Amino acid sequence: MDTQRLVRDCLREIPAAQRQLYEYFAETMLGVCYRYTKSMDDAEDVLQDGFVKVFRNLHQYKYEGELGGWIRRIMVTTALNFLKKNSRYNQEFSFDNENLHPVIDDDPVIRITGKEIADLVRQLPVGYQTIFNLHAVEGFSHVEIGKMLGINEGTSRSQYARARALLITWIKKNEELNFKTGSYAGK
């Protein structure tokens, strides 16, 4: 796909180009939105708001880097704003300033699928889930996350460490359960 031509046509408000841009990126971006929300309905709301922002700000795209990366950044920002504004998430979306670090730093041998890991991440409290996604999935540094969320870098590191420790605990419990039930992959 010629993204430069597509962007130019979208800027000229050609409906077919706008539809093509949306259809090309919608499924992937819905996945991004869903990683930050607790329901598909909320993810779809974030996606729609995000695409409104994409089309409203498309003139700011500088043709540097991939268009999908530029759109992803808008979707992540839109999702974070949604979490901050939505009362259902707002109570869980708070961070304390304790800089706790993980007690253990061992890595479990993972014998679960990517979908199972994604499901576990979705079970994290919203704050943990958000920071885990921003750092481990999106690749933002803790400094960048701190700026995005209005928290200090240490809080981001702490929340990430807590999320990671909780996931490791859940994965280990899953492994123990699988071993006890005979569905252990290494059996």
Verdict on whether the full-model pTM lies above 0.85: no
**Do 12 and 81 lie in a common domain?**
yes
Is 55 domain-assigned?
A: yes
**Do 30 and 86 lie in a common domain?**
yes
**Do 72 and 129 lie in a common domain?**
no
Q: Give the number of domains in the chain.
A: 2
Neighbours of 41 (CB within 10 A): 9
Is 129 domain-assigned?
A: yes
Q: Which two tokens stand for residue 33?
A: 């939105």
DSSP per-residue letters across the chain: --HHHHHHHHHTT-HHHHHHHHHHHHHHHHHHHHHHSSSHHHHHHHHHHHHHHHHHHGGG--S-S-HHHHHHHHHHHHHHHHHHH-HHHHTT----------S--PPPPP-S-HHHHHHHHHHS-HHHHHHHIIIIIS---HHHHHHHHT--HHHHHHHHHHHHHHHHHHHHHHHHHHHHHT--TT-
Question: What pLDDT is attached to residue 180?
Answer: 61
Cα–Cα distance list, 111 to 79, 114, 129, 136 (Å): 30, 10, 21, 19
Residues of the chain with pLDDT under 70: 90-111, 177-187
Is 76 domain-assigned?
A: yes
Handedness of CA 164, 135, 96, 91 (dihedral sign): negative
Is 159 domain-assigned?
A: yes
Boundaries of domain holding 170: 114-181
